[in-house]
Amino acid sequence: MVLPVGVAVGLGVANFAGGLFQANQQRKSQQAAAQRQYESEQRAYANQAAQTAYKAEFEKLMIDQYNKDTVKEYDIKLDQYKQQLALNRSAAYGAFAAEQTRLNEQFAKADFTRASMIKELIQVEGAQAAAAGGRSTSRSLNRANLLNSLTEFGYSNMMLNKTLLSARFASEQKIGAIAGKHYQSDWSAYSKIQIPPRMRTPGTGAGPQLQSPVAALSVPGIGFGDVLSIGAASASGAISTYYSAKNG
């Protein structure tokens, strides 16, 4: 059966139109998929950038608040340090004054004791002089009594001086201990503020590397080459159909 040439041409045209429509739909589908992928990458990039900016701003606010709190706490420690120095100074001065008063009282008591000893010696010398004038006793006995009185006075006076010397030495030792305790207390207070706190600073550097999305994949529409390719395929199909029908 011989297929008319017009029919074969019609079939070729139909095939050409169908192929052109199918190719156009395929390109449109590819373009839509590429656009959806691009929009998805743009949203992901925007979300990542927003999260990074929020994290950086939050970190900055937290650092600022930490630094403010740290400065405030250190100022309180400085005030406490000054108050502690004043308390240490007052306690040391009070201890110094108490020790000096105690030593002064001890020396005053010694002076009173020495004055009594001198008075007693004078009374003994007077009594012996009166006895010698009345010649109620022998001269050698009076002299012996006087020497005994002078010896006793000298010994008592020496022991009193020794006691005062020991008291002064003990007082100096105690005052030195008070001064040492005062210094130690001041140093203990200073050790609490000796090292100032370190302030925090935001991290430096290039910052997080954000992956910028590429441009949307370009999918061209139907071009002249596509038309030629589809036309050639359609013509080849029509010719094959014609000769197949002719030979049959």
Q: Where are the domains of the chain?
A: 5-193+224-247
pLDDT of residue 113: 87
Question: What average pLDDT score do residues 33-45 get?
Answer: 81
Question: What average pLDDT score do residues 123-149 get?
Answer: 62
Q: Which of 70-79, 111-120, 169-178, 230-239 has the lowest mean pLDDT?
A: 230-239
Q: What is the pTM of this model?
A: 0.54
pLDDT tens per residue across span 211-241: 555 555 554 555 545 545 545 555 555 445 5
pLDDT of residue 7: 47
In the predicted structure, residue 182 carries a pLDDT above the cut 90? yes
pLDDT of residue 224: 47
Task: Spell out the long-range contacts of 214-222 with Cβ–Cβ below 8 A and sequence spacing 24 or more.
Answer: 214/41, 215/38, 216/34, 216/35, 216/37, 216/38, 217/34, 217/37, 217/38, 218/34, 219/27, 219/30, 219/31, 219/34, 220/27, 221/24, 221/27, 221/31, 222/20, 222/23, 222/24, 222/27
In the predicted structure, residue 209 carries a pLDDT above the cut 60? no
Percent of the chain with pLDDT over 90: 31
